[in-house]
Structure 1
Amino acid sequence: MKPRLNVHISHELSERVEIAARRPGVTKAAVVEAALLGFFSKEFDDQRDGALIRRLDRIGRQYDRLERNLSITSETLALYVRFFLTVTPPLPNADQDAARALGKERFEYFVGQLARRIAGGRNMIRDVLEEVSADESEFFTETEIDALRNVRGQQANPGEGATQEAGDE
């Protein structure tokens, strides 16, 4: 005689067991026993582990992209602040109160714009890339475009043309 096991299962699962047991020669006990054997089998563990590994790999790739994007954003901000602090001359004492008031007003405007963009799900980089045309003729003269093409050609074939001296960048 086999051991008896009493369990409580959901109504949905119970209905599925009933449907499976309607087949000729199949009992509810056989359906439950087959399901438990499958659950405890090495193959089930391998399938579950494989699915888990795939999910972890996907999460790892997403994390790597987030880390890269955060690094780019941090570096961009640091370069901007360094540039801004380098080129901005100090204000005379008489103008500092007016500058603080204007700075506060501009910062409040900036925070409002930021809040609206985030709430609207907009992305500044995507917006800028859509607005800016990639056509070189809008940014350079024909002479400059030809010079760029020549430089690109030399970079593609590093053994040809003039050599770059140390210090030229």
Structure 2
Amino acid sequence: MKNAKKKRLSAYLDPHVMKALADYAARRDVSLSLIAEAAIASFLSPDAEERKKAAVARRLDQIDRRVQRVERDVGIAIETLALFIRFWLSSTPALPESAQAEVRAKGLQRYDRFVDALGRRLSKGPKLRQEIAEDVPPASRADADDLTAR
């Protein structure tokens, strides 16, 4: 079949499709004709549907891994917050009524500083979830209870 003379085909393409084809050909340093021939052969191939399904399956696997990371990160955030709240509630004494207004004002100032620091941390620097190793085995429930008791 190599000796068979190739047949000429004229095709009309939308300008954006033609530009994409020309850009791709330039990046790969191959002819427009070679890319068009490969695309048509792929389209007409009987296993084209299987390749599409495989590509979709790979993409779904990537999405699944990302969702698992998000679930892990949310779980870490929830556990961190719950542990902090539990520690704070168990170690902070109640304030007398006379000091509550002053403490509330001081708390608002501290909260504003916290929000500023959080904004800076989120805009740059490593995230806490990046600092926590993924390969650290989860602690047993007894170990977690020992931490909160300290």
1:8 is aligned to 2:24: no
- Encode CA deviations 1:16-71: one digit per residue, 9 max, x unaligned: 12xx4xxxxxxxxxx66x74453143312211221221111011011111101211
Q: How does 1:143-162 map to 2 (within 5 A)?
A: none
- Answer 1 or 2: higher relative contact order, Cα 8 Å, separation at least 6: 2
| Aligned equivalent of 2:42 | 38
Stretches of structure 2 lacking an aligned partner (at least 5 in a row): 1-9, 23-30, 134-145
Q: Distance in 2 between matches of 1:35 and 1:60?
A: 30
Aligned partners of 2:121 and 2:127 also within 8 Å = yes
Aligned partners of 2:73 and 2:129 also within 8 Å = no
Letter in 1 for 2:42: G
Deviation at 1:87, TM superposition (A): 1.8
Letter in 1 for 2:13: H
The one of 63, 67, 78 equivalent to 1:63 is 67
User: In angstroms, what is the RMSD of aligned CA positions?
Assistant: 3.1
Q: Distance in 2 between matches of 1:70 and 1:127?
A: 15
The one of 81, 101, 104 equivalent to 1:100 is 104
Percent same amino acid at aligned positions? 35
Q: Which runs of 4+ in 1 moved over 3 A?
A: 9-15, 34-37, 124-129
Q: Mark the structure with the bigger radius of gyration.
A: 1
Q: Distance in 2 between matches of 1:6 and 1:67?
A: 49
Q: Distance in 2 between matches of 1:85 and 1:47?
A: 57
Number of matched residues?
A: 114
Q: Distance in 1 between matches of 2:73 and 2:129?
A: 12
TM-score, structure 1 as length reference: 0.56
- Encode CA deviations 1:73-122: one digit per residue, 9 max, x unaligned: 10121121022112211110000011101101111110010011111143
Letter in 2 for 1:8: L
Structure 1 residue matching 2:47: 3-state secondary structure: helix
| Aligned equivalent of 1:115 | 119
- Encode CA deviations 1:112-140: one digit per residue, 9 max, x unaligned: 100111111432466799xxxxxxxxxxx
Q: Distance in 2 between matches of 1:128 and 1:36?
A: 48
| Aligned equivalent of 1:82 | 86
